[in-house]
Amino acid sequence: MVTMQDRSATKNSQQRLTTSRRALVVGGSATVLGSFTLGTVSAGESVTEEVRTLRSGTRYETPAYIREAPTAGETVVVLGGVHGSERAGIDAAHTVREWEFEQGTLVVIPEANAPAVRDSTYSGPDGDLNQQFPSGQEPTTSIAEAIWEFITEMDPAAVIDMHSSMGIWGSSRGPSGFGQAIFPSAAGGSREIAGRVNRLLNDELIHASEEYDSAYEFTVGNTLAGEHPRLIHKVAADLGRAGYLTEVTRYGTDLPTRTNWSEAIAAELLRKHGIGVEKVPK
């Protein structure tokens, strides 16, 4: 259950729990993908949610959800809709917002580039949002600046940016593209974590599937370290934090499959960063 609290109530509970925010990190759980169970969070100990509005009153206006578990822990930011035509990441981000967890703070921006999401276009009125985060400099548009300021304020241990692509990274199957890959930031152990998550994803989603062969195995993409003006590059270079640009392929897949895969990637990455999410039935 989602309960709304005013900020002062949240702050009070935060103060009780801030003995050592960073020390309360737990390791990733061994939860099996695809078999989420109902949460064990009891009444009165639910996740609380604060809604912020980025670029309020402009065409870029978009909500950001700050969801806090009863027990303090790491913060992870999840984004969808940096590219407005990549629906799987947007739908998955809306679902991520519904998940229950008992420790940590999960921050979700489901429609980062709101006008592009509304128009189902890759870019927005000011171009490709994922080219507006140069490392070591200010973001180059007002929406990129608002997102970056917000992420910086959240002080996350990790940032997950969900995308989809025409093809499959490093594969001769289908058109060229970036799908079925997690591109890790050059910080926070991201590359090693992405590899471990991929092994889980491949066992549960690809090897167990009759529909998808080894061409669809998830791989680790190149490490993002700041050389391009993409969000996760800036997370690596300017924050020195874990980050993941996740890509599923549109080649030979339908939207529900891509969305399910995106959700599974997010769930396992969150667990590796101490947020033991559990899917909530709709």
**Minimum distance, C-beta of residue 233 to Zn ion, in the bound complex (Å):** 14
Q: Give the shortest CB-131-to-Zn ion separation in angstroms.
A: 11
Q: How far is the CB of 248 from Zn ion (least distance, A)?
A: 10
Q: Which is nearer to Zn ion, 80 or 139 (CB)?
A: 80
Residue closer to Zn ion by CB (options 83, 234) is 83
CB atoms within 10 A of CB 243: 27
Q: Which is nearer to Zn ion, 258 or 279 (CB)?
A: 258
Which is closer to Zn ion, CB of 54 or CB of 248? 248
* CB 86, min distance to Zn ion, A: 5
Beta carbon of residue 222, minimum distance to Zn ion (angstroms, whole number):
15
Applying CB under 5 A, the residues found at the interface with Zn ion are 83, 86, 163
Nearer to Zn ion, 13 or 140 (CB): 140
Least separation, in Å, of the C-beta of 79 and Zn ion?
A: 11
Nearer to Zn ion, 245 or 270 (CB): 245
Distance (Å, whole) CA 143 – CA 205: 35
Closest residue to bound Zn ion by CB: 163
How many CB atoms lie under 10 A from the CB of residue 229? 18
Under 8 Å between Cβ of 28 and 84: no
Per-residue CA distances from 162 to 16, 27, 108, 128, 249 (Å): 34, 23, 11, 15, 12
CB neighbour list of residue 185: distance below 8 Å, 6 or more residues apart: 159, 223, 224, 225, 232, 233, 235, 236, 241, 242, 243, 244
Tally Cβ neighbours within 10 Å of residue 162.
30
129 CB-side CA count, 13 A = 32
Q: Which residue has the tokens 């822990």?
A: 73
